[in-house]
Structure formats: C-alpha cells, structure tokens
Amino acid sequence: MPIQGEAAASTLKRESAEAPAQRDYSSPIPTLDFTKPEGDPGLLGPNSMGWKVSANPIVSAVGGIAAVILELSEKHVRAGVWDHSTFKVDPIRRMERTGMAAAAVTYGPTKMAQQTFDRVTRMHQRVTGTTHDGEAYQAMDPALLTWVHVTAGWGFLNAYKRYAHPGLSREDEDRYYREGEVIGKGFGAEWVPASKAEMDAYMAEMTPKLYANETVHEFLELVRNATPLGSAGKPVQRLITQAAIDLLPKEMQNQCGVAVSPAARPMVRPAVRALARTAGLAMRFAKNSPAHQACRRMGVSTDCLR
C-alpha cells in the first residue's frame, strides 16, 4: 500500500508519545537523499504500481484525507491518533512529516524504509489508552495497524483511479495491493489484503464498525484551512477535502457522518481532475522530488512514474 501511510494516520501517530506542549515546532522537516545508494530499488522499485500511484500530489492529498476520515471513524484508531497527535497544534508541519514518511517507504532505498519502520514502531510501542466508551487499546495491535495500512492503500489507489488513471485494470489493482503487503507488515501488521477481492471483503467487514463522531469533523475543519500557501491556497484545499469525502462510497459516508457539500458536488470531480492533470505535468519538472530522485538512483526514466 503505500501508506502507505502509511497512510496518513500512521505517521500522525509517529511522535505520539511526546506531549504537544513539549514539541519544538520550529524544527525543520528532515531532508532525505533519495539518490543513494545507486541501484537500490527499495521496497517497490521502478515500474511498481506504488511508484506510479504516489507520484501525483493531488492524488496523494485526496487519498490521504479520505484515509484519515476512515481511520478516525474507527474508535480505537481515533483515540490513538487524536489523543496522542501533534496534528491539532501544527497541521501543516504534521502533513509535511506525513508526506516525508510516505515517500521514505515508497521511494526510499531499503535502509531508509527500514529506519522509517523502526522509528514509527518505537513511537507506537508507547501509545496506549482508552477509547471514549472505556475499551483499552494499544497502537501496536496488529488489527489496528492493518486498518491504518488498508485505509491508506485504499484511499491512494481509489484517488488514482478516479483522478489520474480511470482505466486502471483489475490486474494492476491486484498488483498494487500485493506490492503494498511488505509495507503494511513493515509497520507491524500481521495480515493485510493482497488483492482487490481481499480488500473489498475487508472493507465490507469494517464499514458497519465505523461511526460518526466529532473528531472527524474537527479533522476536516483543520485540513480545509491547512495550506502552506495561506489564504490563496484555501479554495484548492477545500476542494480537495470535498473530493476526499466524495471518494468514499455512500454507505461509508453515512457511517462516518460526512457528506459532500451540495453546492460543491457538481464541480468536485471535474475540477480535481483538472488539478491532477496540472500537477502531473508540473511534477515532470520537479527534479528534486523523491520520485525523481529515486529514478536517478535507479538510472531509469521518469516515464516509469506514468
């Protein structure tokens, strides 16, 4: 999957054992070198579905927000993420760190990916608590780690299908989930769906367990307004947020208590498709992006990202 996630929520929890008041929010986002060692394909490598799916930032944004909606609608993950997260204090920096962790396990060399797994695991090992209705949870529970992995993979792939590659074949969907198994297990899951059929069955099993709650809406309010471009970027951010809600099937929307704004509904899909096309073209010139650096590391053309 990637996140493939590491979905977004898995990385939201990365530093969860540290109280927000004690964090240094001025600390820079770490800069990673994806160009070395030469010839190391990492966990996925060129021509993988994971490299293709994660190359477009609009796809990643839509899929990532959809994933977190699903994660926060499961009571154990909701508590683990929201009660131990710095997201509420500094959402932009948290999203930047989330993106860097996702890139590390998708495009990074093998050692970088393993270091990311190890760092996340160390943080998760200290995250325990109680849900709103009194049930104990541990972030390292393999079942919860499966859900976090699955929501990310499901979100990214479905955003890719809708906004970047509508004609994606069933074979390629199966390949994407199969490739992502190494990432899900790297983050601690004991089992993850490795085909579309397994994914569909698992999502059907989980959907009735989701529930509407105020945390989902608090999260959505944050991401609608969290953009490094300031007020100029808010219309795009809000459109992407609507697209993330729209990505969820109607039954999931009902379970999670979310819906697309009636005013936005007619324009969401065509507008976000246009954004994704523009971003795809722009990324061809993003020479220092993790995806481009990874291609240079492997000595291959960036055509493998399309």
- Bridge partners, 138 (sequence order): 128
Please give the mean pLDDT across all residues of the chain.
88
Give the DSSP per-residue string, 230-269. Answer: GGGGHHHHHHHHHHHHHHS-HHHHHHHT----TTTHHHHH
Residue 244 resides in a domain? yes
CB 4 within 8 A of CB 71: no
pLDDT value at residue 31: 81
Instruction: Report pTM.
Output: 0.88
Residue 1 resides in a domain? no
pLDDT value at residue 96: 80
Residue 70 resides in a domain? yes
Residue 40 resides in a domain? yes
Residue 255 resides in a domain? yes
Q: Where are the alpha helices (DSSP H) in the chain?
A: 8-12, 49-53, 57-72, 75-82, 91-107, 110-124, 142-163, 170-186, 196-206, 214-225, 234-247, 250-256, 265-283, 290-298
Exposure class string for 256-291: b at 16+ Cβ within 10 A, else e: bebebeeebeeebbebbbebbeebbeebeeeeebbb
Residue 125 resides in a domain? yes
Task: Report d(CA 235, CA 222) in Å as an integer.
Answer: 14
**E-assigned strands of the chain?**
128-130, 136-138
Task: Report d(CA 181, CA 35) in Å as an integer.
Answer: 24
pLDDT value at residue 292: 96
Domain holding 232, by residue range, is 8-16+35-305
Residue 139 resides in a domain? yes
Residues of the chain with pLDDT under 50: 1-29
Query: Which helix (H) or strand (E) element contains residue 6?
Result: none
Record the tokens describing residue 288, joined without a space: 């220092």
CB 25 within 8 A of CB 281: no
pLDDT value at residue 227: 78
Residue 29 resides in a domain? no
Locus of tokens 């808010």:
234
Residues shown for the chain: 306
Cis peptide before 37 (omega within 30 of 0): yes
What is the tens place of the pLDDT at every residue in 186-201?
A: 999 999 999 999 999 9
Count how many domains the chain has.
Answer: 1
CB 4 within 8 A of CB 176: no
- Bridge partners, 137 (sequence order): 129
pLDDT value at residue 232: 76
Task: Report d(CA 229, CA 235) in Å as an integer.
Answer: 11
pLDDT value at residue 16: 35
